[in-house]
């Protein structure tokens, strides 16, 4: 798995998806840039989310709020006081870790051990094997799972009660070592606020501390009435937003999984109090359907219902994805109650209420949120799509089987040779197609090499222009996944592409 992850990271760089930021200065931890192909894929994922959330829902509208917000926003939301992560340093390696992540990784390893045992047993017992039963009754498997659960529960309690000594004691008791040095010599656990602050205005005028937003959600809450009134929105309705968020993460590792600057795609759905659980279940299901529609493999997703809830939530679940380093949170669905709107009412002195004509009542709506990291979705897609194939002739190819609709480049148009008028025909084809599809012209290297290059960035279709094209206006098209080639007439290309790249 580690091997796969390394390959995905170097592939992402080699093919212009993701570069370390400021690389010529040796980069910065947990900050990355998207290259020429990455920016297209990222945009396509974002557009697909936007289309399915905003365009396909009559009662959801968009918003683009600023990154800077009035500082009181973050007081009201609880971020100034409570947006902390527990950090711990290893005295020997001088590396800093998140205490909760160390314990989560420990629990995840136990779960993986349990999975392995189950897989072994399934092999042994064949078709009659009942995994659920085995998990509950086999003492070794049960032991692993119980210990994982107990570890998480004790950690949650320690953090909730503010007993950081207990969290440290748990790390010591489990014998957790620094992943770099193997040392078990830990400092105390301390809380660390994740918000980036900066000064706005000159100091002479009296500068104010403002924060780079750590989530996009608050921009939606403070605009709730603006949108509701001007859009004449009726509850239930949603406001969707995509945009950058910033967190001074303690553990910055796992490539773009946890970054200090990242992008969120969030939707806050405003509902009548008392109806939030219905909508919470609805959005859990809808969001899982969205993921399924991408075809990355149903087995790669699972729900994780939270036992420990954030201060603002009365129900919460994560959609976890099977990343190369195990199942981890990809998206959160949270029933946030009226916590945020009430807090903003209190701090601003302005009412954020809705008059519900159906029941003739004023109330502060409840909120169900769906929140997904765009970069995490990108990583999920890249790692699920990365495929190494051995071909019949003994050669190998690397192909990115990303959903065709989201591929950075939809069609590569390739003249077989750089002469005899073939480049001109290829360019003419592109000028027809480029209004509707992102096309690329490529004439360098042998045709086989060009096919491989496009496999590696996930281009669904390669169109090859050869001498026959001049005679009968036909071209060969080659499908990325099947590698099958077929001759079709140039005039059919647009329609054919359309069917291939629609979801």
Count of residues of this chain found to bind ligand ATP when the rule CB under 6 A is applied: 16
Instruction: Restricting to residues 376-435, name those near ligand ATP by CB under 6 A.
Output: 376
Residue 104 found at the interface with ligand ATP (CB under 6 A): no
325 is in an annotated binding site: no
264 vs 440, beta carbon nearer ligand ATP: 264
In sequence order, what E strands does 247-308 have? 261-271, 301-305
Phi-psi region of 455 (alpha: psi -120 to 50; beta: other; left: phi over 0): alpha
256 vs 422, beta carbon nearer ligand ATP: 256
| Token pair for 326 | 């195990």
Q: Which of 76, 216, 468 is nearest to 485 (CA)?
A: 468
Task: Give the DSSP H or E segment for 357.
Answer: none
Please compute, for residue 101, the number of CA atoms within 13 A of its CA located in the half-sphere on the CB side.
Answer: 19
Q: How far is the CB of 80 from ligand ATP (least distance, A)?
A: 16
Contact window for ligand ATP (CB under 6 A) among 33-41, 173-181, 373-381, 390-398: 373-381
Dihedral (Cα; 249, 250, 253, 254), 10-degree rounding: -60
Q: How far is the CB of 279 from ligand ATP (least distance, A)?
A: 18
374 is in an annotated binding site: yes
Report the residue from 47, 92, 329, 432 that binds ligand ATP according to the rule CB under 6 A: 329
334 vs 480, beta carbon nearer ligand ATP: 334
Contact window for ligand ATP (CB under 6 A) among 227-235, 365-373, 419-427, 467-475: 365-373
376 is in an annotated binding site: yes
Residue 88 burial (C-beta neighbours within 10 Å; 0-12, 13-18, 19+): buried
Coil, strand or helix at 468 = helix
Q: Which residue is nearest to ligand ATP (CB)?
A: 373
| Token pair for 238 | 């949603």
Integer Cα distance of 240 and 270 in angstroms: 11
Report the residue from 158, 243, 324, 332 that binds ligand ATP according to the rule CB under 6 A: 332
Residue 454 found at the interface with ligand ATP (CB under 6 A): no
Count of beta carbons in the 10 Å neighbourhood of residue 254:
18
Q: Which of 246, 239, 249 is nearest to 217 (CA)?
A: 239
Integer Cα distance of 224 and 352 in angstroms: 7
Please name the residue that has the structure tokens 């051990």: 113
Instruction: Restricting to residues 197-236, name those near ligand ATP by CB under 6 A.
Output: 215
Instruction: Restricting to residues 234-263, name those near ligand ATP by CB under 6 A.
Output: 247, 249, 258-259, 262
155 is in an annotated binding site: no
Say if CB 379 and CB 321 are below 8 A apart: no
258 vs 272, beta carbon nearer ligand ATP: 258
484 is in an annotated binding site: no
331 is in an annotated binding site: no
Report the residue from 170, 239, 315, 330 that binds ligand ATP according to the rule CB under 6 A: 330
Instruction: Mention every residue, 6+ apart, whose C-beta is less than 8 A from residue 403.
Output: 294, 295, 296, 381, 503
Q: What distances in angstroms separate CA 454 from CA 160, 398, 490, one per listed residue?
A: 50, 10, 20
400 is in an annotated binding site: no
15 vs 262, beta carbon nearer ligand ATP: 262
Say if CB 276 and CB 366 are below 8 A apart: yes
41 vs 462, beta carbon nearer ligand ATP: 41
Say if CB 474 and CB 488 are below 8 A apart: yes
Q: How far is the CB of 87 from ligand ATP (least distance, A)?
A: 13
Which residues line the annotated binding site for ATP? 247-249, 257-262, 329-330, 373-376
Contact positions vs ligand ATP (CB under 6 A): 215, 247, 249, 258-259, 262, 264, 329-332, 371-373, 375-376
Which residues line the annotated binding site for substrate? 98, 215, 262-266, 369-373
């Amino acid at each position: 798995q580690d091997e796969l992850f390394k390959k995905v990271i170097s592939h992402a760089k080699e093919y212009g998806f993701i570069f370390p930021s400021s690389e010529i200065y040796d980069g910065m931890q947990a900050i990355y840039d998207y290259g020429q192909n990455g920016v297209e894929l990222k945009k396509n994922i974002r557009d697909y989310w936007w289309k399915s959330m905003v365009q396909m829902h009559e009662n959801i509208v968009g918003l683009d709020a600023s990154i800077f917000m009035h500082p009181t926003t973050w007081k009201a939301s609880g971020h100034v006081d409570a947006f902390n992560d527990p950090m711990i340093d290893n005295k020997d390696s001088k590396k800093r870790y998140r205490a909760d992540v160390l314990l989560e990784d420990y629990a995840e390893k136990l779960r993986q051990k349990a999975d392995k045992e189950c897989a072994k047993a399934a092999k042994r017992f064949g078709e009659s094997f009942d995994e659920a039963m085995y998990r509950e009754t086999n003492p070794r498997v049960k032991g692993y799972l119980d210990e994982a659960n107990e570890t998480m529960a004790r950690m949650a309690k320690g953090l909730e009660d503010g007993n950081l000594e207990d969290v440290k004691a748990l790390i010591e008791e489990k014998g957790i070592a620094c992943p770099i040095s193997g040392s078990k010599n830990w400092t105390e656990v301390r809380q660390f606020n994740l918000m980036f602050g900066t000064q706005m205005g000159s100091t002479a005028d009296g500068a104010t501390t403002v924060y780079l937003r750590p989530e996009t959600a608050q921009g939606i809450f403070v605009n709730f009435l603006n949108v509701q009134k001007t859009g004449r929105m009726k509850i239930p309705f949603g406001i969707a937003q995509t945009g950058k968020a910033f967190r001074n993460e303690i553990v910055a590792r796992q490539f773009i999984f946890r970054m200090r600057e990242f992008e969120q795609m969030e939707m806050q759905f405003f509902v009548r109090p008392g109806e939030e659980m219905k909508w919470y279940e609805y959005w859990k299901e809808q969001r899982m359907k969205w993921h399924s529609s991408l075809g990355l493999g149903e087995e790669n997703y699972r729900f994780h219902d939270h036992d420990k809830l954030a201060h603002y939530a009365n129900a919460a679940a994560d959609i976890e994805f099977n990343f190369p380093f195990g199942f981890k949170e990809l998206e959160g669905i949270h029933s946030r109650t009226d916590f945020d709107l009430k807090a903003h009412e209190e701090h601003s002195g302005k009412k954020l209420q809705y008059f519900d004509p159906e029941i003739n009542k004023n109330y502060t709506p409840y909120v169900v949120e769906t929140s997904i990291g765009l970069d995490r979705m990108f990583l999920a897609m890249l790692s699920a799509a990365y495929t190494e194939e051995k071909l019949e002739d003994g050669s190998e190819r690397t192909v990115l089987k990303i959903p065709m609709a989201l591929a950075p480049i939809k069609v590569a148009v390739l003249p077989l040779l750089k002469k005899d008028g073939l480049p001109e025909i290829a360019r003419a084809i592109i000028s027809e197609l480029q209004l509707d599809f992102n096309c690329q012209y490529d004439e360098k290297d042998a045709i086989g090499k060009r096919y491989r290059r496009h496999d590696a960035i996930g281009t669904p279709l390669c169109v090859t222009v050869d001498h026959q094209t001049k005679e009968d206006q036909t071209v060969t098209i080659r499908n990325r996944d099947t590698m099958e080639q077929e001759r079709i007439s140039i005039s059919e290309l647009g329609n054919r592409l359309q069917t291939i790249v629609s979801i």
